Amino acid sequence: MKKNLALLFALLLAGQSLIACSDASDTPVTTDTAAVTESQTEVVTEEPREYANLPEKDFGGAEAKIFIAYNIEGGTVNFGVSKNEFGAHEENGDVVNDSRYQRNTTVEEQFNVKIVDYDYNMENNLMTHVHDTARTQVDKLIMAGDNDYAFMLLPGYTVCTLAQKGSLQDLYSMPNLDLTKSWWDQKANGDLTIMDRLFFTTGDISTADNDATCTVLFNKVVAENYDLPDIYQLVLDGKWTLEKFYSLCSDVSRDLNGDGKYDETDQYGAMVWDDIAMAVVNSTGDKCATTDSDGNVILTLNNERTVNALSKYIEFGRDVSQCFQYQRAVDTSDTVAINMFSGDQVLFFMQLMQIVPKLRDMEADFGIIPFPKYDEAQDSYYNTVGSWHSVFFCMPMGSADPEMSTIIAEALACEGKYNVTDAYYDVNLKTKAARDEQSSAMLDIIFETRVYDLGWYYQFGGYNEEVMNLVRLNHAAKEFTSMYEKKVKSAQKAVDKVNTAFAEYEG
């Protein structure tokens, strides 16, 4: 998804341009602005279409079966977001559905195959957390030698467990997969590689990574009512920091009915969802866990920046006069949250990108921006891909036809870049849901600065839940250092097990 922003910013921001990198590059997106002259805008051209380097094959009408499992919050598909991206069996007028259908038929015709989707959630009526059941099902298929799926799309916790057990194939060693291509997310490849092995990743084969990306929405009516500074310009100038975020929140929080208590009838600087605590850690540029120069996983959560950022966020999140934790104060449904944001009761709404389409009927204008930086000196904005909502491409052991499986996967990813991703990104978000062209440009920044944190996905020491518990109102107040020390031995033990498993992996 390589977007050239120069022309867009020239038109929108009085000759200023944000220099952004492609998500196929590891170079951070900077926040410098520069003048764009008329002559510069004239040379902006579209990126030429690239094709996958695949052999000509005729698979004789064979089925390419795809196994899809995903987590849904709230108990129903209508409340959550279905992540079966291969179930488009006909065109229905929806741009994203139709682009998926066209992608599928293009690949089917090219290689004479029939793409068959198996939606594990729908087939088993599972509308919640499927990690354990999906993992068990995949293990059964492998043990029985009955894995006839070309590839799978599975939740983050599931693929981590399977990778550690040696149940997944190293994607770097698979034929026909060129993971250096732009239709594979290079940030995911880099963040998720351990000891030069990659067992799961994402890219244009899926839009679930977009849905699961954390973001910040702001209500323009509230911002204008309180004469707040231009929030977009704060982002572009590199001044959109955690300190500025807290400052703006304090400017607008109000006990609207004067009853001396804060609930869903009042006005807040921010409304947050539990998982935002993990996003705050990653917004600093640090991670719960990463890899060292030898490819070994190491814990990196306990450092000065994350401790400072979390400490301030814990204080803010527990201040019921400024921050509304809708999952703790009301229920886990996002209905109340959507109503409050739509009703101009909240300045900032911190959630996943998947919330944006649910706001299409909102009358007030809203903007979309990245997570704030730790400070102005930070080199980039960073936006985490939520662990619970993530879905990753993987290839479990025992595939009946690795050649066909990898050819079809590579072809679908390539075709997805030039078909599905454009529809999802440019039409579904930029046109239907995003309310202004500035937000559209912000999406480029958000998606180009994604973070995939091994610590959250592998759940080392349970730090993912423990970090959230520090903020949750229905948990006893604690501070970071004591929590970290209590869990560090179990976390390190879990890290050691992963390193040992990867070192002993034989493929």
| % the chain with pLDDT above 70 | 88
pLDDT the model gives residue 18? 33
User: What are the backbone dihedrals phi and psi of residue 101, each rounded to the nearest 5 degrees, phi first?
Assistant: -60, -45
Query: What residue type is assigned to position 60 of the chain?
Result: G
Confidence of residue 386 (pLDDT cuts 50, 70, 90): very high
Closest CA to 289 of 276, 274, 311, 306: 306
Q: Tens digits of per-residue pLDDT, 201-238?
A: 999 999 999 999 999 999 999 999 999 999 999 999 99
CATH class, 62-211+390-433 region: alpha beta
Fold held by 214-384+451-503: D-Maltodextrin-Binding Protein; domain 2 (3.40.190)
Q: Tens digits of per-residue pLDDT, 271-304?
A: 998 999 999 999 999 999 999 999 999 999 999 9
Q: Provide the residue ranges of all domains of the chain, joining segments of one domain with +.
A: 62-211+390-433, 214-384+451-503
Does residue 2 have a pLDDT over 70?
A: no
Confidence of residue 128 (pLDDT cuts 50, 70, 90): confident
pLDDT the model gives residue 109? 98
pLDDT the model gives residue 332? 63
What is the C-alpha to C-alpha distance for residues 66 and 149, in angstroms, rounded to an integer? 6
CA quadruple 181, 207, 87, 457: dihedral sign: positive
Structure tokens, 153 = 């799309």
**What's the mean pLDDT when you consider all of the chain?**
88
pLDDT the model gives residue 294? 96
pLDDT the model gives residue 12? 35
Closest CA to 50 of 332, 367, 411: 411
Do 62-211+390-433 and 214-384+451-503 come out as alike in CATH topology?
Answer: yes
Q: Which residue is associated with the tokens 């598909």?
A: 77
Does residue 37 have a pLDDT over 60?
A: no
Does residue 34 have a pLDDT over 60?
A: no
- For range 390-415, the mean pLDDT: 95
What is the C-alpha to C-alpha distance for residues 416 and 181, in angstroms, rounded to an integer? 13
Exposure string (b/e) for 294-310, b if CB count within 10 Å is 16 or more?
Answer: eeebebbbbeeebbebb
| Residue 440 CA, distance from chain mean position | 17
Alpha helices in 419-506 (DSSP H): 420-422, 437-448, 454-458, 463-469, 480-503
pLDDT the model gives residue 39? 40
Contacts of 466-472 with C-beta under 8 Å, sequence gap 24+, read 467/277, 467/278, 467/281, 467/288, 467/310, 468/274, 468/275, 468/277, 468/278, 470/277, 470/310, 470/314, 471/272, 471/274, 471/277, 471/313, 471/314, 471/317, 471/318, 471/325, 472/274, 472/325, 472/328
pLDDT the model gives residue 42? 44
| % the chain with pLDDT above 90 | 74
Does residue 402 have a pLDDT over 80?
A: yes
What is the C-alpha to C-alpha distance for residues 196 and 267, in angstroms, rounded to an integer? 49
